[in-house]
């Protein structure tokens, strides 16, 4: 019997345990620092879990080449078939975002997790703090069982409050891997000289991220104005592209509120109606009356992204040069890494859960 330890009972860890429990020669130990499994999976998609997308494109990730290699091995259709074989009914929206038919993330956790299964050993409320390799076996802290293989699936400190993210993934230092610092991604931005009167306003706009005069990325969608900055899915996506810049100076976001009418002549409209109250959200109009701005190019200078606590994922993690094509760590035997702990992050729309599940399939094959 081969003993496999998975560190982290999150999206990728649960999925891998579901795949491996079919293997009669494997005994699986699933370690998690929390009492509950799948915390982020349950929180994902506003509680509905957008588990993948039917149209994943490699450029949606910070390392498109690596993403392309993953997609060569695991297509969205292959992932759909895997979920199908577990008995999960799914539905997709018009943008290819796939959800469980129940529209309830707990359903996904329930089909992946069976702590009573004879080959699954849950080790919960257990924080892994160091790993050692001795006599051809892996040892976890002072846990009494030694393991043939270990899979690192402990994710990142995104969306975790500061007191709970202290020493997060510190055990990585015992492995001496090349890692990149955790940086918040899929997160809103604090804005310099922010007009606080916009707080609470929600509007649709085309949002463009610029560095100096260079357009980095542009998207259409809903913007949420907060007390000191902006958020919303389009802004979260802009943060993913912002993180890909080596030098982040001189970045601003431009909002075009007139996306619906490119021909509208603002000067004529003002002459005719005396104000923009018929075409702008009341809070934007109040701001305009105080200090007119270009409604097609409302510039907001980025101060900084919001803190990790508000991020959906992290940019950073284990450098991709550390893993081989089966996601085995090259410098250590029988050690694998999958999911967000790798230096891969994607945009909103099912990209990050797809990566977690697809890499779990790759590790299952490697094992
Ligand atoms: C609010 C929110 C909404 C999201 N919505 C979506 C969405 O709709 N679609 C999408 O694709 N992605 C979404 N994501 C991102 C997605 O949830 C993550 O990318 C995904 O869960 C990562 O899976 P993972 O297995 O790598 O890590 P996780 O799911 O984070 O699991 C890691 C596990 O490891 C455990 N752990 C950590 N350190 C240790 C340790 N030292 N010892 C033992 N256990 C440890 C943790 O407790 C955790 O259970 C969302 C994220 C958030 C926060």
The DSSP result for 19-39, as a single string, is: HHTT-TTEEEEEEESSSSS-H
Ligand 1: which residues within 6 Å by Cβ?
7-13, 31-34, 39-41, 43-45, 49-50, 127-128, 153-155, 158-159, 169, 171, 312-313, 339-341, 350-353, 356
Distance 72 CA to ligand 1 centre (A): 24
Residues 193 and 178 grouped into a single domain: no
Residues 44 and 135 grouped into a single domain: yes
Q: 277 phi and psi, to 5 degrees? A: -65, -20
Q: Could you say which of 254, 285, 305 is where a domain stops?
A: 305
Residues 324 and 176 grouped into a single domain: yes
Quote the number of domains for the chain: 2
Distance 11 CA to ligand 1 centre (A): 6
% of the chain with per-residue pLDDT over 90: 96
Residues 298 and 164 grouped into a single domain: no
% of the chain with per-residue pLDDT over 70: 100
Residue 167: the pLDDT is: 87
Residues 165 and 288 grouped into a single domain: no
- 366 with 336: CB under 8 angstroms? yes
Which structural domain range is residue 233 located in? 189-305
| Residue 55 pLDDT exceeds 80 | yes
* DSSP summary character for residue 231: E
Residues 167 and 52 grouped into a single domain: yes
How far apart CA 192 and CA 137 sit, in angstroms, is 53
Q: Which helix (H) or strand (E) holds 92?
A: strand 90-92
pLDDT tens for residues 59-76?
A: 999 999 999 999 999 999
Q: Where are the alpha helices (DSSP H) in the chain?
A: 11-20, 39-43, 64-73, 76-85, 105-112, 233-243, 266-273, 282-290, 351-366
Mean pLDDT computed over 19-36:
96
Q: Is the pTM of this model over 0.85?
A: yes
Residue 264: the pLDDT is: 81
How does residue 333 score in pLDDT terms, banded at 50, 70 and 90? very high
CA angle 56, 57, 59 (to 5 degrees): 135
Residue 287: the pLDDT is: 97
Distance 266 CA to ligand 1 centre (A): 46
Residue 185: the pLDDT is: 97
Distance 160 CA to ligand 1 centre (A): 10
User: For the domain that residue 98 is a member of, what is the CATH number?
Assistant: 3.50.50.60
Residues 11 and 155 grouped into a single domain: yes
Closest atom of ligand 1 relative to the 340 alpha carbon: 26
Residue 146: the pLDDT is: 97
Distance 156 CA to ligand 1 centre (A): 7
pLDDT tens for residues 207-216?
A: 999 999 999 9
Closest atom of ligand 1 relative to the 354 alpha carbon: 11
Query: Which residue owns the Cα nearest ligand 1 atom 5?
Result: 44
Closest atom of ligand 1 relative to the 353 alpha carbon: 11
Distance 344 CA to ligand 1 centre (A): 13
Closest atom of ligand 1 relative to the 345 alpha carbon: 19
Going 323 to 327 to 330 to 331, the CA torsion angle's sign is: positive
Residue 332: the pLDDT is: 96
Query: Which residue owns the Cα nearest ligand 1 atom 23?
Result: 11
Residues 63 and 208 grouped into a single domain: no
Closest atom of ligand 1 relative to the 12 alpha carbon: 25
Of the ranges 45-59, 126-140, 187-201, 257-271, which one carries the lowest mean pLDDT score? 257-271
Residue 259: the pLDDT is: 85
Query: Which residue owns the Cα nearest ligand 1 atom 29?
Result: 10
Distance 38 CA to ligand 1 centre (A): 7
**DSSP string for residues in 317-358:** EE-GGGB-TT-BBTTSTTEEE-GGGBS--B-TTTHHHHHHHH
Query: Which residue owns the Cα nearest ligand 1 atom 14?
Result: 44
Residues 68 and 170 grouped into a single domain: yes
Residue 356: the pLDDT is: 98
- 363 with 342: CB under 8 angstroms? no
Residues 64 and 108 grouped into a single domain: yes
Distance 210 CA to ligand 1 centre (A): 30
The contacts of residue 115 (CB under 8 Å, 6+ apart) are 122
Residues 132 and 12 grouped into a single domain: yes
Residues 169 and 254 grouped into a single domain: no
Residue 263: the pLDDT is: 77
And the tokens for 233?
A: 């899915």
Mean pLDDT computed over 254-271:
88
């Amino acid at each position: 019997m081969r003993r496999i330890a998975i560190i982290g009972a999150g999206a990728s860890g649960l999925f891998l345990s579901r795949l491996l429990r079919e293997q009669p020669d494997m005994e699986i130990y699933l370690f998690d620092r929390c009492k509950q499994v799948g915390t982020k999976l349950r929180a994902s998609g506003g509680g509905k879990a957008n588990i993948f997308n039917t149209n994943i494109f490699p450029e949606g990730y910070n390392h498109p080449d690596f993403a392309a290699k993953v997609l060569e091995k695991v297509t969205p259709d292959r992932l759909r078939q895997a979920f199908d074989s577990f008995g999960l009914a799914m539905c997709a929206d018009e943008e290819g975002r796939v959800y469980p038919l129940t529209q309830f993330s707990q359903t996904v956790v329930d089909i992946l997790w069976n702590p009573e299964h004879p080959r699954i050993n849950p080790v919960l409320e257990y924080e892994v703090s160091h790993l050692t390799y001795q006599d051809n076996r892996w040892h976890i802290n002072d846990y009494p069982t030694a393991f043939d293989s270990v899979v690192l699936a402990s994710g990142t400190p995104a969306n975790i409050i500061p007191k709970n993210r202290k020493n997060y993934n510190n055990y990585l230092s015992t492995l001496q891997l090349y890692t990149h610092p955790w940086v918040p991604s899929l997160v809103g931005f604090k804005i310099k000289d922010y007009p606080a009167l916009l707080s609470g306003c929600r509007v649709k706009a085309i949002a463009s991220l610029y560095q100096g005069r260079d357009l980095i990325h542009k998207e259409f969608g809903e913007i949420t104005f907060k007390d000191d900055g902006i958020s919303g899915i389009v802004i979260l996506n802009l943060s993913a592209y912002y993180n890909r810049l080596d030098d982040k100076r001189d970045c601003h976001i431009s909002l075009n509120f007139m996306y619906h009418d490119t021909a509208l002549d603002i000067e004529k409209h003002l002459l005719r109606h005396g104000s923009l109250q018929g075409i702008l959200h009341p809070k934007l109009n109040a701001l305009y009356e105080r200090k007119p701005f270009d409604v097609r190019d409302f510039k907001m200078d980025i101060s900084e992204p919001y803190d990790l606590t508000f991020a959906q994922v992290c940019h950073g993690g284990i450098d991709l040069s550390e893993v081989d094509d089966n996601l085995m760590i090259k410098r250590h035997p029988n050690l694998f890494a999958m999911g967000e702990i790798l230096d891969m992050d994607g945009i909103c729309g099912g990209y990050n859960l797809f990566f977690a599940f697809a890499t779990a399939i790759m590790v299952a094959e490697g094992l």
